[in-house]
Amino acid sequence: MEKLRVGLAGCGGISGVHLSGWDNMHPDCEVVALCDIKEEALKFRGEQYKVPADQWYSDHRDMFEKADIDAVDVCTPNRVHAEISINALKAGKHVICEKPLAPTPDEIRRMIAARDEAGKILMTAQHQRFMRSSQHLKAYIDTGALGEVYYARAHFLRRRFIPGHRAKGKSFICKEYSGGGPCIDIGVHILDLALHFMGYPEPVSVSGITPCKLGKREDIRGWWGEWDRDIMDVEDFAAGFVRFKNGAALSLECSWLLNIREKEYQKITLCGTEAGAEWPQLTVHGETAGSVTDTQLTFPDDRMDGHHVELDAFADAVFDGMPSPVPPEQSLNVQRILDGLYRSYEAGREVEV
């Protein structure tokens, strides 16, 4: 294969980041076809990135059948991730799909089965893994400097940033469309990255809460505009505790609307037998010669965007015949945990995953 020809499905907000990445990152990749059910979105992206109008499709199956493409980039709303990805794999295409890979564990299992049958790459677009700070800390952890990482804290909290404003309609705030609230939108990011740092241990049980405390109140105002409180049926906050087969544990917090000081707060704390570490601060906390030490890790930073780097990694895997840089089996574990969090809140107890 001399050039990777990509068809992109879903021309909404996140597609702009992906299209910019394909346009600027890998010299041997080209987006040659676009698909969206909304004509105005399709026209906007097509003209913006100079994709010929005869390669604009309103049905993804038509694009898979008629367009000369090797891979599909899925940027649609969550509820159709599985359908489009499975159809793409059945059509013999490699697939990179925006997070969450799918809203439910069973959908991801079907995607894995389709991947196995097709013999193609299926990758989840988890861009935070590809941020330079993440890559540098992961390389440091892999030296064994932290020892056994037996506990982690993962926080992704926003004070007043709910993405369900009226321009986006139901895509984020209706469970039918999104699969959940901040758990699915931003919790999936911080949870995946924490598990990545921990070496992706096998989860066994989850306990937690997923309430909606502020999101339906008329007196609460968001910094991204208004949203339809009448149709909102997802959580606005989640907190959970995860146990793993190897004896490790993780606490998770994520929210769109939370009465905290910071506008946005992202942090992962890793606790190991030899030292601890924090992301994105890139600090290490240990003990040397009887004295506790706090060390700032410093690495060169080329300022590359994580979204763009992940596309480069996907393309390299396709060209080189390598495994998926973010395998769906890991995304399945993420979704098992988040699904368990919802079930735990409903049941009022810890649940197996």
CATH of the domain at 342: 3.30.360.10
Q: What tens digit of pLDDT does each residue of 2-55 get?
A: 899 999 999 999 999 999 999 988 789 999 999 999 999 999 999 999 999 999
Q: What tens digit of pLDDT does each residue of 275-290 get?
A: 999 999 999 999 999 9
Place of tokens 């049958």: 117
Q: How would DSSP label each residue in 35-73?
A: E-S-HHHHHHHHHHTT--GGGEESSHHHHHHHS--SEEE
Q: Which two tokens stand for residue 236?
A: 């606005």
Task: Let me know: does 275 contact 286? Beta carbons within 8 Å.
Answer: yes
pLDDT band at residue 164, thresholds of 50, 70 and 90?
Answer: low
Residue 164 lies in a domain: yes
Residues 76 and 142 in one domain: no
Asked if omega into 100 is within 30° of 0 (cis), the reply is yes
Quote the radius of gyration of the chain (alpha carbons, Å): 20
Residue 328 lies in a domain: no
Residue 213 lies in a domain: yes
Residues 156 and 19 in one domain: no
Q: What tens digit of pLDDT does each residue of 138-153 get?
A: 999 999 999 999 999 9
How far is the C-alpha of 111 from the C-alpha of 102, rounded, in Å?
Answer: 9
Residues 27 and 66 in one domain: yes
- Supply the angle between the helices 306-320 and 13-24 in degrees, to the nearest 10: 60
How far is the C-alpha of 195 from the C-alpha of 295, rounded, in Å?
Answer: 23
Handedness of CA 62, 64, 66, 68 (dihedral sign): positive
**Structural domain containing residue 346:** 129-302+334-352
pLDDT on residue 302: 62
Residue 346 lies in a domain: yes
Residues 245 and 96 in one domain: no
Per DSSP bridges, beta strands 149-158 and 351-352 are: unpaired
**Amino acid, res. 278:** E
Residues 181 and 298 in one domain: yes
Q: What tens digit of pLDDT does each residue of 193-212 get?
A: 999 999 999 999 999 999 99
How far is the C-alpha of 232 from the C-alpha of 350, rounded, in Å?
Answer: 26
How far is the C-alpha of 328 from the C-alpha of 123, rounded, in Å?
Answer: 6
Beta bridge partners of 152: 250, 270
Q: Which two tokens stand for residue 167?
A: 């321009």
CATH of the domain at 12: 3.40.50.720
Residue 341 lies in a domain: yes
Q: Which of 42-51, 64-73, 219-228, 305-314 has the lowest mean pLDDT?
A: 219-228
Per DSSP bridges, beta strands 351-352 and 203-209 are: antiparallel
How far is the C-alpha of 93 from the C-alpha of 311, rounded, in Å?
Answer: 15
Task: Let me know: does 296 contact 99? Beta carbons within 8 Å.
Answer: no
Look at the chain and report how many structural domains it folds into: 2
Residue 308, CB half-sphere, CA atoms under 13 Å: how many?
Answer: 13
Residues 317 and 295 in one domain: no
Phi first, then psi, for residue 189 (nearest 5°) are -65, -55
Residue 229 lies in a domain: yes
Residues 148 and 166 in one domain: yes
Residue 329 lies in a domain: no
Residues 339 and 315 in one domain: no
Residue 300, CB half-sphere, CA atoms under 13 Å: how many?
Answer: 1
**Nearest CA to 6 among 52, 66, 68, 69?**
69
